[in-house]
Amino acid sequence: MVTAKHGPMKIGIVGAGAISNQYLRNLTQFPDVNVLAIGNRTESRSLAQAAKYGVPTLGGIDVVINHPEIELVVNLTTPSMHAPISKQVLLAGKHVWSEKPIGLNRFEAQELLVLAKSHGLRVGVAPDTVLGLGFQTAKRAIARGDIGQPLFAQTVFQWQGPEIFHPNPAFLYEAGAGRGACWPDLPG
């Protein structure tokens, strides 16, 4: 994630809930990223996470979106807020990485992708595991040539469900958070 002009990618995080621990634990350790700010609608959560992980700037969501040095915002808000906040990030001229889903329906998702393309920005959407130590260590080893030229790769991810780790898993079963409800305009 090193940018050609600026060295380490300058990152801001929006959303200081349960999943932010996983992201902050990893992103604050990678040498090619620099977490500059964390924002949350409840600023006390921003304060706690900033103190715990050594993030220098904290406050509300706008503090992150409007931070002049941040190049990429990691959107860890609730699923219903992913598209609206990602849109604000893109309109501020920053790349956005969001927890899944990208939006609550295909129209929200398409709007974000069109907006990003028109501004020359990138949108990434995936669970925290993609930015986790396992995937990122493998990516860096491949990029350095540690294992030669890979011919193929396979990854398997399996778990029992959010009840085993999440303090409030009920919202994960609402429209947009998974379980087939994220695309209500499509059958099934």
DSSP string, the chain: --BTTTBSEEEEEE--STTHHHHHHHHTT-TTEEEEEEE-SSHHHHHHHHHHHT-SEEESHHHHHT-TT--EEEE-S-HHHHHHHHHHHHHTT-EEEESSPS-SSHHHHHHHHHHHHHTT--EEE--GGGGSHHHHHHHHHHHHTTT-S----------S-GGGT-SSGGGGGSTTSSTT-S-TTS--
Q: Considering the domain boundaries, does residue 178 fall inside one?
A: no
| Count of structural domains within the chain | 1
What range defines the domain where residue 112 resides? 9-173
- What is the predicted pLDDT for the residue at 112? 97
Residue 183 lies in a domain: no
59-97: pLDDT as tens digits: 999 999 999 999 999 999 988 899 999 999 999 999 999
Whether residue 65 lies inside any domain: the answer is yes
If one compares 162 and 26, the residue with the highest pLDDT of the two is 26
Q: What is the pLDDT of residues 106-120, one digit of tens each?
A: 999 999 999 999 999
Query: Is residue 154 one of the residues assigned to a domain?
Result: yes
Give domain status of residue 121, yes or no: yes
